[in-house]
Amino acid sequence: MGRLPRAAVAELAPRRTLAPIPVTDVEDPSYFHKVVDCQWACPAHTDVPQYIRLIGQGRYGDAYLLNRKSNVFPGILGRTCDRPCEPACRRGRVDGDAVAICRLKRVASDLREDVGWGLPRAAEARNGRRVACVGAGPASLTVANDLMPLGYEVTIFERQQLPGGLMRTNIPAFRLPAQVLDEEIAVILDMGVDIRYGTEIGSMRELLQMGYDAVFVGSGAPRGKELELPGRHDEVGETHIHIGIDWLESIAFGHVNKVGRRVLIIGVGNTAMDCCRSSRRLGGEDIRVMARRPRQYFKASPWELEDAEEEGVQIVVNHAPRRFIIEDGRLVGMEFDQVRWDEGAVHSTTLGTVRIDCDDVILAIGQENAFPWIERDLPLEFTSPQLAAVDEVTMQSTVPGVFFGGDSAFGAKNIIWAVEHGHQAAISIHNHCQGVPVAERPAQVMKLSSRKMGITQWSYHNDYNPHGRQEMARVDLKRRFERLNLEVELGFGPEETAREVERCLNCDIQTAFQAPLCIECDACIDVCPVRCLTIVRPDWADEAELRTRLNAPAENRSQAIFVSEALPQTGRVMVKDENLCVHCGLCAERCPTAAWDMARFELGIPYAGRPAEVP
Amino acid sequence: MTSIAKPQIPLLPLERNQLGLTIRDYSGSMSTLCAGCGHDSVTAAIQEALWGLSIPPYQVAKLSGIGCSSKTPQYFDAAAVGFNSVHGRMAAVASGAAAANRGLVVVGVSGDGDSLSIGLGNLAHAIRRNVRMLYVIANNGVYGLTKGQFSASADIGSRSRKGEPNLLPPVDPMLLGLSLGATFLARGFSGDKAQLVPILKAGLSHGGFALVDVISPCVQFNDHEGSTKSFRYVREHELQDIEADIIPVRGQIHSEQTPGAVTEVELHDGSRVLFRAVPEGYDPRDRVRVGSYLVESARRGEIATGLLYLDEETPDMHQLSETPEERLWDLPFERLCPGSAELARFQARLR
């Protein structure tokens, strides 16, 4: 056969003129970061897939230190984290059950060898800068963790006699043993933090006059919400109506050691779960958690609800509290409206009234910020009576050098957010003390490195493990209530751990594409088990249309669509629906030109005085 | 070769065909061919065609000879029956299967070596008999399994990976088929499933021998500069002006809305093939015109693809042989083999 000049061919098959292709910028660290759903969802951006891999290799200490770098308290969080990573987990979209990320974190903590070599150390010389932190909770401790190695003198004022803040006072010991708490906090305090126990700061004005270079407020959201109903303030002898977080604190410090037989908990957040389970351990037998709305609207994490129900707590829905019933100067019960909700649970109809007898009521309907010690005539502005004006990026208030973090900043969140606030505040404090504008944030960096070891060999396990999520072993119900501080969850054993680590889909091992190498042989498209790849002509009107034109329609709009540059032979483009990709690497295995590669994405996160780096 | 099996992830609500099956129900084991092999795309296209026509997976007989292409039946429709037969003899074995059980959907996959060199005689006679089957030639112009010597379909002047030119003229299966009285001739390209899948569906619906020549580049030995069967060469020289759609029997029929430029041919089973965008005066049933069109386009260095020729008049093997309507293996033994007395009577007639 003769050859036709290319020009003649072009004449035979004229091509439409196309709009510029919206090529995906994979050099932007946020693109691949977003594909790692767990890491993206984590406020502190913990490198989850990598630590799971390290656990799989038995490198528990390394896994612990990798965790600690971003979340500071792996042992504590491995038991108590709110786990924003798990609802985000890709595995949840595949078989309905997320990888037990939090539990694996605890494995790293439980089984770690001595990791002293990898823990932060105070700088040998102080830099002469002094930072005051209010409250010794996770936010302040993180600030100290980040600043002590830089030579700062950090002073923490704590009104209690022990450090930890909410982690100690509000999380019962049967969920978080004091020893775990003490150990991880000691790492920070032992760097030489000047901690002043039993010291309550009474005035911001006075604190500001004490000559610190920066002030960090990490005092939490310490006021439990009141339930103003008839009977609440009636004259009674001994009160049997308690504010949840105060009551938990009293238990933590040994001031409360019993409760009545019949206990009502008002509210269904995680604090309510801790209250009902604590009641069970203090002598409560008939314990009911009273909810106004149906179950799907509960604020408590599903696993905490399950734990409570397993311990015999009743969850009662559609009951709105009406009044406390006080008879003869004593609380005898509560009256509730039984309600029915419309769709979406916006409006309710009252069906009737019911009286439930009880000995104690615990109010766990949320908590508020309270800053009675911050004078309102300072230049420190408030956005509401409870909340100071705090910048979401820098954590700085309207007074330069005064920063907020944790629950004090934007209201009650959780430990992992407090840690992230602490990291960001530490960066700001460091900038502030060095005369750099606090808004000047150090950049994140990224690295992609191939995991290819041979023709079909990768330095990660790419096969799909069909195991279901592993169950956590718990102390037998008969023994569980023997001691108030008996930890319920036993942690994963070697078998559960081995199975659970293999459930991880390795989202950090990215399917990385190089368009110039592609010969459009279709091998990747044919082999992809989830049909997430498509080669299309780039003539779609918008992304919405593109999403309908793929081999499998891309219906999850929260997940990105990758669009390559034009392919050399036909000018079409490779499109990947990140939602479906399970990172099995088959596309790269079947690619004859290595246009597809499996490459590990590493995110470099900057911390105070330590620019982002990837090894 | 891949290191892991395709994960069976229950991720998608996969589309189901009329039998309630998903495309996964038509898959076979993982390919052991070279990464990027055109044959894998042919496999995927066959799988999609079988699924799209709702052919029961167990009703398929998949047969092949020897060669890279002949490995492919392993990679689709695990529920089907079939085997690798002798080199170049797939057509004979398939004819036997089709003769014994006319209810089978016979799919033969062969290569340019298996069909156009060693097996040319077998192919020729299966075409003449008009055996009802889909016969796919995964055509890459080289003997890949023996490291890339030119095959009988290599074009004159096409260069090997080391740069040597081929001096012998190619066997063009389309012209070969036309000269032997083939009733369904089509050419596709493994890199273009949008065209290949409808062609395969039409071939599966055809009432006789459907010969589909698929240019299927060998990424290892014939995808370089100088090759006329590389991905790039085919993309630059492919002529797709014989565009065909198949409308299965069950498909909606809007015959009154058929535009004038479209030529329509009804297949044996009632489904229809629509030819659109054909060159002026092209009639897919005119053997002489199709022949000259193929010779002319080849002379211009173009690779004509699409459903090139179709003849629904010629009787197939069963009609020619006046076999009973039932499948032979359903016949009672006494009817299938009437005994030596009957044989003697038959022989007496011929004396």
For residue range A354-411, list pLDDT tens digits in order: 999 999 999 999 888 889 999 999 999 999 988 999 999 999 999 999 999 999 999 9
Q: From A7, which residue of chain B is nearest by alpha-carbon distance?
A: B236
Half-sphere exposure of B192 (CA within 13 A, CB side): 23
Give pLDDT, residue A591.
95
Give pLDDT, residue B100.
93
Give pLDDT, residue B238.
84
Give pLDDT, residue A389.
96
Residue A498: pLDDT over 80: yes
A·B CB contacts under 8 A: 126
Query: Is A9 in Cβ contact with B4 (below 8 Å)?
Result: no
Considering chain B, what percentage of its residues have pLDDT values greater than 70?
A: 93
Contacts of B298 (CB under 8 A, 6+ apart): A1, B172, B304
Residue of B231, B234, B305 for testing the chain A interface, max A β-carbons within 10 Å: B231
Strand partners, B105: B60
Angle value at C-alpha A181, between A179 and A184, nearest 5 degrees = 105
Give me the mean pLDDT over the A263-272 stretch: 94
Of B30, B35, B232, give the one whose Cα is nearest residue A597.
B35
Q: Contacts of residue B49 in chain A, CB cutoff 8 Å?
A: none
Report the gap between the CA of B285 and the closest CA in chain A (Å).
Answer: 25
Taking the C-alpha atoms of residue B310 and residue B246, their distance in angstroms, rounded to an integer, is 13
Cβ atoms B71, B91 nearer than 8 A: no
Asked if A592 has any chain B CB less than 8 Å from its own CB, the reply is: yes
Taking the C-alpha atoms of residue A102 and residue A80, their distance in angstroms, rounded to an integer, is 8
Please give the structure tokens belonging to residue B350: 């011929």
Asked if B295 has any chain A CB less than 8 Å from its own CB, the reply is: no
Confidence of residue B11 (pLDDT cuts 50, 70, 90): low
Cβ atoms B284, B309 nearer than 8 A: yes
* B178 occurs within a structural domain: yes
Query: Is A1 in Cβ contact with B156 (below 8 Å)?
Result: yes
Give pLDDT, residue A3.
38
Maximal CA-CA distance, chain A: 109
Give me the mean pLDDT over the A460-480 stretch: 92
Query: Is B5 in Cβ contact with A519 (below 8 Å)?
Result: no
Restricting to B residues 329-348, those with a Cβ less than 8 Å away from any Cβ of A are none
* B242 occurs within a structural domain: yes
Taking the C-alpha atoms of residue A548 and residue B51, their distance in angstroms, rounded to an integer, is 22
Indicate the residue type of A526: D
Restricting to A residues 493-522, those with a Cβ less than 8 Å away from any Cβ of B are 519-522
Indicate the residue type of B178: L
Task: Name the domain count of chain B.
Answer: 1
* B79 occurs within a structural domain: yes
Taking the C-alpha atoms of residue A485 and residue A504, their distance in angstroms, rounded to an integer, is 32
Query: Is A526 in Cβ contact with B3 (below 8 Å)?
Result: no
Q: Contacts of residue B223 in chain A, CB cutoff 8 Å?
A: 519, 592
* B346 occurs within a structural domain: no
ipTM exceeding 0.85, yes/no = yes
* B18 occurs within a structural domain: no
Give pLDDT, residue A19.
61
Residue A526: pLDDT over 50: yes
Q: Where are any strands of DSSP class E within A139-227?
A: 153-157, 194-196, 214-217, 223-224
Residue A608: pLDDT over 90: yes
Query: Is A590 in Cβ contact with B35 (below 8 Å)?
Result: yes
* B71 occurs within a structural domain: yes
Query: Is B11 in Cβ contact with A93 (below 8 Å)?
Result: yes
DSSP element (H, E) containing B276: strand B272-276
Query: Is A1 in Cβ contact with B158 (below 8 Å)?
Result: yes
Taking the C-alpha atoms of residue B264 and residue B7, their distance in angstroms, rounded to an integer, is 42
pLDDT, tens digit, for every residue of B135-150?
999 999 999 999 999 9
Determine the number of helices (DSSP H) and then strands (DSSP E) in chain B. 12, 12
Report the gap between the CA of A34 and the closest CA in chain B (Å).
Answer: 20
Shortest CB distance from A584 goes to which of B4, B43, B301? B4
Q: From A2, which residue of chain B is nearest by alpha-carbon distance?
A: B301
Give me the mean pLDDT over the A455-477 stretch: 92
Please give the structure tokens belonging to residue A144: 């100290």
Domain containing B115 equals 23-321
Instruction: Name the more confident of B5 and A428.
Output: A428
DSSP A82: -
Q: Contacts of residue B36 in chain A, CB cutoff 8 Å?
A: 519, 521, 523, 590-593
For A248-258, give one letter per residue: b (16+ CB within 10 A) or e.
bbebbeeebee
Please give the structure tokens belonging to residue B53: 């026509």
Asked if A570 has any chain B CB less than 8 Å from its own CB, the reply is: yes
Asked if A215 has any chain B CB less than 8 Å from its own CB, the reply is: no
Give pLDDT, residue A10.
37
Confidence of residue B114 (pLDDT cuts 50, 70, 90): very high
Q: From B297, which residue of chain A is nearest by alpha-carbon distance?
A: A1
Report the gap between the CA of A239 and the closest CA in chain B (Å).
Answer: 55
Q: How many CB atoms lie within 10 A of CB B225?
A: 10
Asked if A529 has any chain B CB less than 8 Å from its own CB, the reply is: yes
CATH no. for residue B232?
A: 3.40.50.970
Taking the C-alpha atoms of residue B120 and residue B131, their distance in angstroms, rounded to an integer, is 16
Radius of gyration of chain B (CA): 21
Give pLDDT, residue A5.
37
Query: Is A462 in Cβ contact with B2 (below 8 Å)?
Result: no
Confidence of residue B277 (pLDDT cuts 50, 70, 90): low
Give me the mean pLDDT over the A603-613 stretch: 95
Give pLDDT, residue B256.
40
pLDDT, tens digit, for every residue of B290-312?
999 899 888 888 888 888 999 99
pLDDT, tens digit, for every residue of A117-162?
999 999 999 999 999 999 999 999 999 999 999 999 999 999 999 9
Confidence of residue B264 (pLDDT cuts 50, 70, 90): confident
Give pLDDT, residue B302.
85
Give me the mean pLDDT over the A591-613 stretch: 96
Residue B257: pLDDT over 80: no
Instruction: Name the more confident of B12 and B320.
Output: B320
Strand partners, A430: none
Asked if A285 has any chain B CB less than 8 Å from its own CB, the reply is: no
Taking the C-alpha atoms of residue A210 and residue A206, their distance in angstroms, rounded to an integer, is 6
Asked if B226 has any chain A CB less than 8 Å from its own CB, the reply is: no
Give pLDDT, residue B304.
87
Confidence of residue B267 (pLDDT cuts 50, 70, 90): confident
Contacts of A549 (CB under 8 A, 6+ apart): A534, A536, A540
Residue A277: pLDDT over 50: yes
Query: Is B191 in Cβ contact with A520 (below 8 Å)?
Result: yes
User: B289 to each of B127, B143, B279, how far by Cα in Å?
Assistant: 20, 33, 11
* B96 occurs within a structural domain: yes
User: B211 to each of A137, A543, B57, B266, how far by Cα in Å?
Assistant: 77, 41, 21, 18
Please give the structure tokens belonging to residue A437: 């504008």
Query: Is B191 in Cβ contact with A523 (below 8 Å)?
Result: no
Give pLDDT, residue B276.
64
Asked if A107 has any chain B CB less than 8 Å from its own CB, the reply is: no
Confidence of residue B262 (pLDDT cuts 50, 70, 90): low
**Weakest mean pLDDT among A11-15, A42-46, B196-200:** A11-15
Q: How many CB atoms lie within 10 A of CB A482?
A: 9
* B338 occurs within a structural domain: no
**Weakest mean pLDDT among A260-264, A501-505, A571-575, B241-245:** B241-245
Query: Is A13 in Cβ contact with B36 (below 8 Å)?
Result: no
Please give the structure tokens belonging to residue A524: 């990747």
Mean pLDDT of all residues belonging to chain A: 92
pLDDT, tens digit, for every residue of B44-71?
999 999 999 999 999 999 999 999 999 9
Query: Is B1 in Cβ contact with A93 (below 8 Å)?
Result: no
**Domains of chain A with CATH codes:** 41-116 (no CATH), 120-222+369-434 (3.50.50.60), 231-365 (3.50.50.60), 449-464+505-604 (no CATH)
Q: Contacts of residue A9 in chain B, CB cutoff 8 Å?
A: 236-237
Residue A16: pLDDT over 70: no
Global pTM reads 0.88
Give pLDDT, residue B266.
76
Give pLDDT, residue A2.
35
Q: Contacts of residue A455 in chain B, CB cutoff 8 Å?
A: 1, 35
Give pLDDT, residue A9.
37
Taking the C-alpha atoms of residue A405 and residue A424, their distance in angstroms, rounded to an integer, is 9
Query: Is B10 in Cβ contact with A590 (below 8 Å)?
Result: no
Confidence of residue B249 (pLDDT cuts 50, 70, 90): low
pLDDT, tens digit, for every residue of A163-214?
999 999 999 999 999 999 999 999 999 999 999 999 999 999 999 999 999 9
Taking the C-alpha atoms of residue A317 and residue A333, their distance in angstroms, rounded to an integer, is 17
Residue A41: pLDDT over 80: yes
Radius of gyration of chain A (CA): 28
Residue A14: pLDDT over 50: no
Shortest CB distance from B40 goes to which of A457, A466, A523? A523
Residue A279: pLDDT over 70: yes
Select, from the ranges A205-214, A538-547, B228-237, B260-269, the one with the highest average predicted confidence (pLDDT): A205-214
Taking the C-alpha atoms of residue B57 and residue B59, their distance in angstroms, rounded to an integer, is 5
